[in-house]
Amino acid sequence: MHQSSDICVVGNGAVGKAAALGFAQAGRTVTLLSPPAPAVPAMQESWDVRVYALNHVAQALLSRLMVWDALDASRVAPVEAMDISGDGGNAAGKLGFDAYGARVGSLAWIVEDRNLNQALDAALRFAPKVRQVSGRAVALMQGEAATLTLDNGDTLEARLVVGADGAQSWLRSQCDIGHDYRSYGQRGVVANFECEKPHHGTAFQWFCGAQGIIALLPLPGNRVSLVWSAPDALAEQLLGEPVAALAGRLAPWAAEKLGMLTPVQPESVKAFPLSLLRPHAMTAPRVALVGDAAHVIHPLAGHGMNLGFGDVEALLGVTQGAADCGEARLLRRYARARKEDVLLMQVTTDALERLFASEAEPLRFLRNAGMNLLNGLPALKRRLIAQALGRPLSS
C-alpha cells in the first residue's frame, strides 16, 4: 500500500504528536508513524514519576493546539518560585526566583508525562487531517519528495519528514547526520513523595557535589516529584533500596523546607541515563529533526521538553503558507532559527554540570560565591528568568 501526505511525522512522543497536530491545524495532511506499542493506560490515582517543567513557550503552543485546556488541571502544578542551593553546608550559595519578581503568573507548570500524552492523543483522535500508522520504517529515499518504506512493505510519501523518534533516532542515522555524544555517568532517579510541610508551589534544587543534583518539583497538594541526577554507582544503590530509604536519604536537604517525606502509594522508582547529544545538523533533504532526535541535554534546568516544543513552534512558523513545506530554503531557515536557543541551553547545562561536579575547594568557593552574587543582582536575574520562560518579560 502506498500513502501520500504533506507531512510524515516519525515518533510517538509528545513532541512528535504536537508537530502532527500543529501541521494538521495549519491545513496540511499528516501521517503520524509510530512503532507498535501497548495502549497507554487510563489516568489512574497514582502519580506518574516522569514529569516535565513546561515553560511559557510550551504552554502557548499547547494552548494553540487546544491541548492545554484538555489536560487534567487537577494534576498540573504551577511553579511559583525556585529555591536553589549550592554545596558546602553553611557556606552554600543561595539563589532564588519567583513569579512575582518576574511579573508573570507562574514560572512554569509541572505536568505528568501520562497526562500530557493522553491530552495529545485525545486531540489527535479528532484531527481529520491526521492519519495514524503503526509500523517501523526500514528505508528512506529523498528526492522531490521523501519516501519511507515500512517493515511490512508499505510506503509513505511526504514533502517533509519530521524526525521525532528520540535520542537514538533511526531517521537521523538514515540521513548520515553525525553527532557528538558524552555520557554524564549519571542516571536520573525519579520518584514521588508526600511532604509534611506545604511546598507553596516552590521547586527546590540542591547541587550536592559528588552526590549529584537533587530537584524536588511541586505536584498538586502536598506532593513533590524527585529528579535526582545521581552518579551511576549511587543510582544503583538508590534503585536497590526501598523508597522509604530513598526518602531518608533526602532528609538532610529536604527536611527543613518540606518536613518528612513519605513515598506516594503505590511506590515507584525509575531511572534513565543522562547524556549530552549534539547532532551535527538538524536538517537533511526533506527531513527536519525535532526534540531528542535533534538535541539531548542534562535535565538540571528542566528544559529538554521545552526545547522540543520550541523546535515544533519554529518549524510550524517557517513552513506557514509555503507551497512546498520541505523546500531546502525553509529547512535552512528552521535550522538557523533554532541554533542559538539550542546551543545556549547545551552549553549552559553542560558547563553547570561540570562546574558543580568538581570537588576542588577553590571551585566550590567560587561557584557558591557566584550564586550569592547573582542572587543580589535583580536585573541579571530577570534576564535569566526571561531566557527560562522562553519569552521577553514585561517591563
Model pLDDT for residues 278-311, shown as the tens digit of each residue = 999 999 999 999 999 999 999 988 899 999 999 9
**Residue that has been written with the C-alpha cell 500543529 in this structure:** 22
Query: Could you tell me which residues come within 8 angstroms of residue 256 by beta carbon, excluding any fewer than 6 positions away?
Result: none
Q: What is the pLDDT of residue 17?
A: 98
Per cent of the chain over pLDDT 90 is 78
Residues 290 and 163 sit within 8 Å (Cβ to Cβ): yes
Residues 229 and 186 sit within 8 Å (Cβ to Cβ): yes
pLDDT per position as a tens digit, 328-341:
999 999 999 999 99
Q: What is the pLDDT of residue 137?
A: 97
CA dist 218 and 220 (Å) reads 7
Q: What is the pLDDT of residue 393?
A: 42
Please compute the mean of the pLDDT values over residues 4-16 and round it to a whole number.
97
Q: What is the pLDDT of residue 368?
A: 81
DSSP state of 41: P
pTM: 0.93
Q: What is the pLDDT of residue 392?
A: 47
Q: What is the largest CA-CA distance in the chain?
A: 67
CA dist 150 and 138 (Å) reads 5
pLDDT per position as a tens digit, 107-163:
999 999 999 999 999 999 999 999 999 999 999 999 999 999 999 999 999 999 999
Single-letter amino acid code for the residue at 354 = R
Q: What is the pLDDT of residue 264?
A: 95
Mean pLDDT computed over every residue of the chain: 92
Please compute the mean of the pLDDT values over residues 7-23 and round it to a whole number.
97
Q: What is the pLDDT of residue 345?
A: 92
DSSP state of 296: B
pLDDT of 43 higher than 70: no
Query: Could you tell me which residues come within 8 angstroms of residue 238 by beta carbon, excluding any fewer than 6 positions away?
Result: 189, 228, 230, 246, 249, 269, 271
Q: What is the pLDDT of residue 41?
A: 54
Q: Which fold has domain 2-355?
A: FAD/NAD(P)-binding domain (3.50.50)
Closest CA to 151 of 162, 139, 133: 139
Q: What are the residue boundaries of the structural domains of the chain, listed by start? A: 2-355
91: helix, coil or strand? helix
CA dist 64 and 181 (Å) reads 34
How many angstroms separate the first and last alpha carbons of the chain? Answer: 57
Is the previous residue joined to 279 through a cis bond, with omega within 30 degrees of 0?
Answer: no
Confidence bin at 44 (pLDDT 50/70/90): low
Q: For 121-163, give the secondary structure using H, E and C.
A: HHHHHCCCCEEEEECCEEEEEECCCEEEEECCCCEEEEEEEEE
63: helix, coil or strand? helix
Please compute the mean of the pLDDT values over residues 235-254 and round it to a whole number.
96
Q: What is the pLDDT of residue 394?
A: 43
User: Cα 390 to chain center, whole Å?
Assistant: 13
pLDDT per position as a tens digit, 327-377:
999 999 999 999 999 999 999 899 888 888 887 878 778 888 888 887 787
Q: What is the pLDDT of residue 365?
A: 83
Closest CA to 294 of 273, 306, 280: 280
Q: What is the pLDDT of residue 8?
A: 98
